[in-house]
Amino acid sequence: MTMQSRTDALYYTAAELSARGADNIPDAFVSHNRLIYSSPATLAYNSPGAEGFGVKRAGLAIPGSVMLIVSPGCCGRNTSALMRMPEYDKRFFYLEMDETDLITGRYLKKIPEAAQEIMAFLEKYGRKPTVLMICITCVDALLGTDMERVARQTQDVIDIPTRPCYMYALTREGRKPPMVHVRQSLYALLPKQQRVVTTANILGYFTPLTADCELRNFLQQLGIRTINEISRCEDFDAFEAMGAANFNLVLDAEALPAADDLQKRLAMPYIQLTRMYQMDKIKHQYQALAQVFKKSVNLETDRQHARDAIETLKNRYGKLTFSVGEVINANPFELALALLREGFDVAEIFGTVTSDVMPWLAKIAAISPETKVYSNLEPSMLFYKSVSPVDCALGEDACYYHPDIPGAAFNGGDQPFGFSGVVHLCEAIDKAMQADAGGIR
């Protein structure tokens, strides 16, 4: 890049942000007030499906389902990367729109026929899909397309459940962002059935909790024998069996509207848990849930294991200084606070400042007022240069900004949670520190 900067990357200290409070968040940190800088650190924001789970992958969470993406060619382009993954072989199809389609709306009439052609194509390979998801994009958001109606028409023709899903980037900050809606669309397929009191669903993630997560043990101590996760459903029957659960545990707030729907439609209550890395908060959250069931649960072994992992890290590396990003299996502010409370330093946080994170920011400001907070999206991040010494970068974005120091992306597939999440985090940091500069990505 030959262009010169006129400014350094903009940041506020934790103390400044905390003093400003939730009602006075700087304009520069409110995404719709600025252009959004496109760097590898913002890819997960701009295009969640380019890595991780966006609407496209999430829409195919149901075993045996296929997706028809009805859109201009540009919207389906990055799916090429997913097509290379064996689990998505012959599961994505495209109906490309042209300008005449936009003007006449004729593409809507073609959808049932396209669905029939897809069914015939799959039949040649001995496959019959369980569900057809019809994915539409910003264009249809603006046209106000009634895709529910088109999905019903299509279902009548192909005789398999057909659901719309909305990849409406335009509504990202609206009442129902795409990743909220896609969860509602998926769980709307759960049928009403006889309740099994010893069964619970975990909602929120599209990949499973890590195999060693104590949440399962915890639920078993509460008398839950079957714990369903959509990512562990091997077939459509297993998915449908989620409709028999006694309650839902919601681990990601984006699944709350779906849980609400299930409560209304199937009388299935839900409880929200939050992923945290502060040891005392994890313990209190489990205790509170146990109280709901009027039971006492012992997770002391798991807690001690996590405590040992933290102490090992401290003994091995001393007072590490971290750069904490938001492309990570954590809330960066909560994680930064957890690290500070354990005696580490946090030089900088890359995160989205909203009123929700203010309580954490206030506590960060009390311990480490000079911690710098950057917004990945802010245009001046084009000129970001590290101004604070950092030992280890946490999160894919922080690793991008600090390519020459040890780093742990810690945003991989299986989801860390609870005390075992703390252990996994410590192990990831340890691995990164043992590796050469450039670290574990």
Partner 1 sequence: MKGLRKVLTPFAPDQSGAVSVLYALDGMIVVLDAGGCTGNICGFDEPRWQHEKSAIFSAGLRDMDAVFGRDKELVEKVKIAADQMDAAFIVLVGTPVPAVIGTDYHGLKRMLEKEVNLPVLAIETNGMALYDCGIEAAWLALVKTFCKNSGQPKRGVGIIGVSPMDFPDNKLRNVPEITSVNSIAALANTERNIVVSPAGRKAADYLKKTFGVPYTCTVPDELLTNIDLPADDKNILIIHQQYIANALRKKMSKAKNVTVASWFMADKKQWQLGDVKLKEEDDFTSLIAAHHYDVIMTDAVLKPLLPENFKGAWVDLPHFALSGRKAV
Residue 128 CB, nearest approach to partner 1 (Å): 16
Cα radius of gyration rounded to whole Å, the chain: 23
Residue 47 CB, nearest approach to partner 1 (Å): 2
Which stretch, 95-103, 228-236, 324-332, 417-425, contacts partner 1 (CB under 8 A)? 95-103
List binders of partner 1 among 7-36 (CB under 8 A). 7, 31-36
Q: How many residues bind partner 1 (CB under 8 A)?
A: 72
Cβ nearer to partner 1, comparing 142 with 387:
142
DSSP state, residue 91:
T
The yes or no reply on residue 80 touching partner 1 (CB under 8 A) is yes
Tokens read off for 402: 């600090």
Q: Which of 15, 22, 102, 196 binds partner 1 (CB under 8 A)?
A: 102
Q: Which of 21, 105, 174, 343 binds partner 1 (CB under 8 A)?
A: 174
Contact between 418 and 370 under an 8 Å Cβ cutoff? The reply is no
Separation CA 22–CA 32 (nearest Å): 17
Separation CA 35–CA 29 (nearest Å): 11
Separation CA 207–CA 411 (nearest Å): 11
The yes or no reply on residue 5 touching partner 1 (CB under 8 A) is yes
CA 274: distance to chain centroid? 13
Contact between 60 and 206 under an 8 Å Cβ cutoff? The reply is no
The yes or no reply on residue 138 touching partner 1 (CB under 8 A) is yes
Separation CA 259–CA 272 (nearest Å): 10
Residue in this structure with the two tokens 């719709």, named with its chain if needed: 32
Which stretch, 221-229, 346-354, 365-373, 376-384, contacts partner 1 (CB under 8 A)? 376-384
Which stretch, 166-174, 224-232, 299-307, 427-435, contacts partner 1 (CB under 8 A)? 166-174
Residue 30 CB, nearest approach to partner 1 (Å): 10
The yes or no reply on residue 157 touching partner 1 (CB under 8 A) is no
With H, G, I as helix, E, B as strand and everything else as coil, classify residue 219. helix
For 282-345, give the DSSP string. Answer: HHHHHHHHHHHTT-----HHHHHHHHHHHHHHHHHH-S-EEEE-SSSSS-HHHHHHHHHHTT-E
Residue 435 CB, nearest approach to partner 1 (Å): 20
Which stretch, 147-155, 197-205, 297-305, 380-388, contacts partner 1 (CB under 8 A)? 380-388
The yes or no reply on residue 134 touching partner 1 (CB under 8 A) is no
Q: Which of 20, 63, 263, 383 binds partner 1 (CB under 8 A)?
A: 383
Pairing state of beta strands 345-350 and 321-324? Answer: parallel
The yes or no reply on residue 417 touching partner 1 (CB under 8 A) is no
Contact between 350 and 374 under an 8 Å Cβ cutoff? The reply is yes
List binders of partner 1 among 251-280 (CB under 8 A). none
The yes or no reply on residue 40 touching partner 1 (CB under 8 A) is yes
Residue in this structure with the two tokens 């980037």, named with its chain if needed: 169
Separation CA 373–CA 3 (nearest Å): 25
Cβ nearer to partner 1, comparing 270 with 384:
384
Residue 247 CB, nearest approach to partner 1 (Å): 34
Q: Which of 19, 21, 81, 291 binds partner 1 (CB under 8 A)?
A: 81
Tokens read off for 139: 């264009």
Separation CA 23–CA 5 (nearest Å): 31
Contact between 9 and 374 under an 8 Å Cβ cutoff? The reply is yes
Could you tell me which residues are beta bridge partners of residue 264? none
Residues 82, 84, 86, 90: is their CA dihedral positive or negative? positive
The yes or no reply on residue 63 touching partner 1 (CB under 8 A) is no
Residue 58 CB, nearest approach to partner 1 (Å): 14
With H, G, I as helix, E, B as strand and everything else as coil, classify residue 18. helix
Residue 352 CB, nearest approach to partner 1 (Å): 13
Binding mask 329-368 for partner 1 (x = CB under 8 A): ----------------------------------------
Residue 60 CB, nearest approach to partner 1 (Å): 15
